[in-house]
Chains A and B, each alone.
Chain A
Amino acid sequence: MDKTKILVVDDNPTIRKGLSVRLRANGYEVLFAEDAISATAALITERPDLVLLDLGLPAGDGFVVMERLHKNDSLASIPVIVLTGRELAGNRDRALQAGATAFFQKPVEDSALLFAIRKALDVSRGELRFDE
Protein backbone atom coordinates (compact mmCIF):
# COMPACT_ATOMS: atom_id res chain seq x y z
CA MET A 1 0.00 0.00 0.00
CA ASP A 2 1.29 3.46 -0.93
CA LYS A 3 2.23 5.84 1.84
CA THR A 4 -0.03 8.77 2.55
CA LYS A 5 1.36 11.83 0.77
CA ILE A 6 1.40 15.18 2.53
CA LEU A 7 2.28 18.36 0.67
CA VAL A 8 4.02 20.84 2.96
CA VAL A 9 3.73 24.40 1.65
CA ASP A 10 5.92 26.88 3.50
CA ASP A 11 8.47 29.44 2.34
CA ASN A 12 10.70 28.81 5.36
CA PRO A 13 13.14 25.96 4.57
CA THR A 14 13.86 25.27 8.25
CA ILE A 15 10.18 24.78 9.02
CA ARG A 16 9.83 22.54 5.96
CA LYS A 17 12.70 20.41 7.22
CA GLY A 18 11.34 20.21 10.76
CA LEU A 19 7.92 19.17 9.51
CA SER A 20 9.39 16.60 7.17
CA VAL A 21 11.37 14.94 9.97
CA ARG A 22 8.27 14.76 12.15
CA LEU A 23 5.91 13.59 9.40
CA ARG A 24 8.30 10.98 7.99
CA ALA A 25 8.83 9.61 11.50
CA ASN A 26 5.07 9.08 11.58
CA GLY A 27 5.01 7.15 8.33
CA TYR A 28 4.00 9.86 5.86
CA GLU A 29 5.58 10.63 2.54
CA VAL A 30 6.37 14.34 2.39
CA LEU A 31 6.39 16.63 -0.63
CA PHE A 32 7.35 20.28 -0.59
CA ALA A 33 6.40 23.58 -2.17
CA GLU A 34 7.78 26.98 -1.22
CA ASP A 35 5.36 29.34 -2.93
CA ALA A 36 1.81 29.50 -4.26
CA ILE A 37 2.80 28.67 -7.84
CA SER A 38 4.82 25.55 -7.02
CA ALA A 39 2.12 24.52 -4.55
CA THR A 40 -0.52 24.65 -7.26
CA ALA A 41 1.72 22.70 -9.63
CA ALA A 42 2.41 20.05 -6.99
CA LEU A 43 -1.30 19.68 -6.26
CA ILE A 44 -1.97 18.86 -9.91
CA THR A 45 1.02 16.62 -10.58
CA GLU A 46 1.35 14.85 -7.23
CA ARG A 47 -2.26 14.78 -5.98
CA PRO A 48 -1.32 14.63 -2.30
CA ASP A 49 -3.66 13.16 0.30
CA LEU A 50 -3.43 16.28 2.47
CA VAL A 51 -1.93 19.78 2.34
CA LEU A 52 -0.20 21.50 5.22
CA LEU A 53 -0.39 25.12 4.18
CA ASP A 54 1.28 28.31 5.37
CA LEU A 55 -0.61 31.51 4.59
CA GLY A 56 2.27 33.94 4.02
CA LEU A 57 3.80 32.75 0.76
CA PRO A 58 5.61 34.33 -2.17
CA ALA A 59 3.78 34.55 -5.51
CA GLY A 60 0.34 34.58 -3.96
CA ASP A 61 -0.61 33.38 -0.52
CA GLY A 62 -2.24 30.43 1.15
CA PHE A 63 -5.70 31.78 0.35
CA VAL A 64 -4.83 31.82 -3.34
CA VAL A 65 -3.72 28.17 -3.11
CA MET A 66 -6.98 27.19 -1.39
CA GLU A 67 -9.03 29.07 -3.96
CA ARG A 68 -7.28 27.28 -6.84
CA LEU A 69 -7.64 23.93 -5.11
CA HIS A 70 -11.35 24.32 -4.48
CA LYS A 71 -12.04 25.52 -8.02
CA ASN A 72 -10.66 22.25 -9.38
CA ASP A 73 -13.22 19.47 -8.93
CA SER A 74 -10.61 16.73 -8.94
CA LEU A 75 -8.60 18.43 -6.18
CA ALA A 76 -11.35 20.01 -4.11
CA SER A 77 -11.68 17.08 -1.72
CA ILE A 78 -8.05 17.22 -0.60
CA PRO A 79 -8.06 18.37 3.03
CA VAL A 80 -6.06 21.48 3.89
CA ILE A 81 -4.64 22.22 7.32
CA VAL A 82 -3.38 25.77 7.77
CA LEU A 83 -0.22 26.27 9.82
CA THR A 84 0.74 29.91 9.90
CA GLY A 85 2.69 32.57 11.73
CA ARG A 86 0.01 35.10 10.90
CA GLU A 87 -2.20 36.58 13.58
CA LEU A 88 -5.50 34.92 14.46
CA ALA A 89 -7.64 37.96 13.84
CA GLY A 90 -9.07 37.81 10.37
CA ASN A 91 -7.02 34.82 9.25
CA ARG A 92 -8.55 31.95 11.23
CA ASP A 93 -12.16 32.58 10.23
CA ARG A 94 -11.17 33.43 6.67
CA ALA A 95 -9.16 30.22 6.34
CA LEU A 96 -11.96 28.05 7.69
CA GLN A 97 -14.47 29.78 5.42
CA ALA A 98 -12.11 29.19 2.49
CA GLY A 99 -12.33 25.47 3.15
CA ALA A 100 -9.48 24.70 5.56
CA THR A 101 -10.13 21.68 7.74
CA ALA A 102 -8.15 23.06 10.66
CA PHE A 103 -6.18 26.19 11.56
CA PHE A 104 -3.04 26.23 13.68
CA GLN A 105 -0.87 29.11 14.66
CA LYS A 106 2.88 28.47 14.83
CA PRO A 107 4.39 27.02 16.89
CA VAL A 108 2.04 24.06 17.13
CA GLU A 109 2.22 21.05 19.42
CA ASP A 110 3.26 18.05 17.32
CA SER A 111 0.62 15.84 18.94
CA ALA A 112 -2.16 18.30 18.07
CA LEU A 113 -1.00 18.62 14.49
CA LEU A 114 -0.64 14.86 14.01
CA PHE A 115 -4.09 14.28 15.50
CA ALA A 116 -5.62 16.84 13.12
CA ILE A 117 -3.85 15.22 10.18
CA ARG A 118 -5.11 11.75 11.07
CA LYS A 119 -8.63 13.02 11.60
CA ALA A 120 -8.68 15.02 8.34
CA LEU A 121 -7.44 11.97 6.43
CA ASP A 122 -10.05 9.72 8.04
CA VAL A 123 -12.79 12.19 7.15
CA SER A 124 -11.62 12.59 3.56
CA ARG A 125 -11.53 8.80 3.15
CA GLY A 126 -15.06 8.55 4.50
CA GLU A 127 -13.96 6.67 7.60
CA LEU A 128 -15.08 9.38 9.97
CA ARG A 129 -17.53 12.25 10.03
CA PHE A 130 -16.42 15.75 11.00
CA ASP A 131 -18.46 15.66 14.19
CA GLU A 132 -16.89 12.43 15.48
Chain B
Amino acid sequence: MTTSTQPVSSLPAYLSHELRNALCCIHQFGNILVDGLAGELTGEQREYVGIILENASKIRIVLNRALDGVLETPEKTTNKIEPVSKLET
Protein backbone atom coordinates (compact mmCIF):
# COMPACT_ATOMS: atom_id res chain seq x y z
CA MET B 1 0.00 0.00 0.00
CA THR B 2 2.75 2.46 0.87
CA THR B 3 4.22 3.96 -2.26
CA SER B 4 6.65 6.33 -0.59
CA THR B 5 10.32 5.42 -0.88
CA GLN B 6 10.81 6.47 2.71
CA PRO B 7 11.06 3.55 5.10
CA VAL B 8 8.20 3.23 7.54
CA SER B 9 9.83 3.34 10.92
CA SER B 10 7.35 1.37 12.97
CA LEU B 11 4.01 -0.38 12.92
CA PRO B 12 2.18 2.59 14.50
CA ALA B 13 3.74 4.94 11.92
CA TYR B 14 2.71 2.58 9.11
CA LEU B 15 -0.83 2.31 10.49
CA SER B 16 -1.06 6.08 10.92
CA HIS B 17 -0.13 6.66 7.29
CA GLU B 18 -2.35 3.97 5.78
CA LEU B 19 -5.42 4.42 7.97
CA ARG B 20 -5.35 8.21 7.83
CA ASN B 21 -5.15 8.20 4.04
CA ALA B 22 -8.08 5.79 3.77
CA LEU B 23 -10.08 7.78 6.31
CA CYS B 24 -9.24 11.00 4.49
CA CYS B 25 -10.80 9.63 1.29
CA ILE B 26 -14.00 8.63 3.13
CA HIS B 27 -14.15 12.04 4.79
CA GLN B 28 -13.42 14.00 1.60
CA PHE B 29 -15.93 12.29 -0.63
CA GLY B 30 -18.60 12.02 2.06
CA ASN B 31 -18.44 15.78 2.51
CA ILE B 32 -18.39 16.34 -1.24
CA LEU B 33 -21.68 14.42 -1.44
CA VAL B 34 -23.25 16.15 1.57
CA ASP B 35 -22.29 19.56 0.24
CA GLY B 36 -23.93 18.79 -3.10
CA LEU B 37 -20.72 19.18 -5.11
CA ALA B 38 -21.62 16.05 -7.09
CA GLY B 39 -25.32 16.88 -7.33
CA GLU B 40 -28.12 17.27 -4.83
CA LEU B 41 -28.92 14.34 -2.54
CA THR B 42 -32.35 13.25 -1.40
CA GLY B 43 -33.09 13.48 2.29
CA GLU B 44 -32.58 9.75 2.71
CA GLN B 45 -29.27 9.78 0.84
CA ARG B 46 -28.08 12.70 2.94
CA GLU B 47 -28.98 10.81 6.10
CA TYR B 48 -27.00 7.75 5.04
CA VAL B 49 -23.91 9.73 4.04
CA GLY B 50 -24.21 11.51 7.37
CA ILE B 51 -24.04 8.13 9.11
CA ILE B 52 -20.89 7.27 7.16
CA LEU B 53 -19.27 10.57 8.13
CA GLU B 54 -20.29 10.30 11.75
CA ASN B 55 -18.69 6.90 12.02
CA ALA B 56 -15.60 8.03 10.15
CA SER B 57 -15.25 10.78 12.77
CA LYS B 58 -15.46 8.19 15.54
CA ILE B 59 -12.71 6.17 13.90
CA ARG B 60 -10.59 9.31 13.60
CA ILE B 61 -10.94 10.03 17.32
CA VAL B 62 -9.94 6.47 18.20
CA LEU B 63 -7.04 6.66 15.77
CA ASN B 64 -5.79 9.92 17.25
CA ARG B 65 -5.92 8.53 20.76
CA ALA B 66 -4.42 5.18 19.88
CA LEU B 67 -1.71 6.01 17.38
CA ASP B 68 -0.54 9.47 18.34
CA GLY B 69 -0.70 8.45 21.98
CA VAL B 70 1.63 5.56 21.20
CA LEU B 71 3.89 7.59 18.94
CA GLU B 72 4.18 10.66 21.16
CA THR B 73 4.42 9.06 24.56
CA PRO B 74 5.76 5.55 24.14
CA GLU B 75 6.78 5.37 27.76
CA LYS B 76 3.12 5.50 28.79
CA THR B 77 1.97 2.67 26.61
CA THR B 78 4.88 0.29 26.48
CA ASN B 79 4.13 -2.90 28.27
CA LYS B 80 6.90 -3.42 30.76
CA ILE B 81 7.87 -6.97 31.49
CA GLU B 82 8.58 -7.28 35.16
CA PRO B 83 10.27 -10.27 36.70
CA VAL B 84 7.67 -12.43 38.36
CA SER B 85 8.56 -14.47 41.34
CA LYS B 86 7.40 -18.06 41.44
CA LEU B 87 4.24 -18.61 43.35
CA GLU B 88 4.82 -19.71 46.87
CA THR B 89 3.25 -23.03 47.48
Query: Which A residues are within 8 Å of any B CB, using their own CB?
Result: 11-12, 14-15, 18-19, 21-22, 25, 56-61, 84-89, 105-108, 110
Contacts and interface: CB of A to CB of B under 8 A. Distances in A.
Nearest to B27: A107
Nearest to B1: A12
A88 B68 contact: yes
B56 to A, nearest CB: 7
A16 to B, nearest CB: 10
Given A11-B4, A87-B71, A89-B68, 20 more contacts: A12-B21, A12-B25, A14-B25, A18-B24, A18-B29, A18-B32, A21-B32, A21-B38, A22-B31, A61-B4, A61-B5, A85-B17, A86-B16, A86-B17, A87-B68, A89-B71, A89-B72, A107-B20, A107-B26, A110-B31
Nearest to A14: B25
B4 A56 contact: yes
B40 interface: no
Given A11-B4, A87-B12, A89-B71, A105 B20 contact: yes
Contacts of A59: 5
B37 interface: yes
Q: Sort chain B's interface into a size bin.
A: 20 to 34
A57 B28 contact: no
B28 A22 contact: yes
A89 B28 CA distance: 24
A15 B2 contact: no
A21 B3 CA distance: 23
Most chain B beta-carbon neighbours within 10 Å: one of A21, A60, A87, A110? A87
Contacts of B13: 86-87
Contacts of B46: none
Interface in B47-68: 56, 60, 67-68
Contact of A87 (B16, B25, B26): B16
A12 B29 CA distance: 14
Nearest to B67: A87
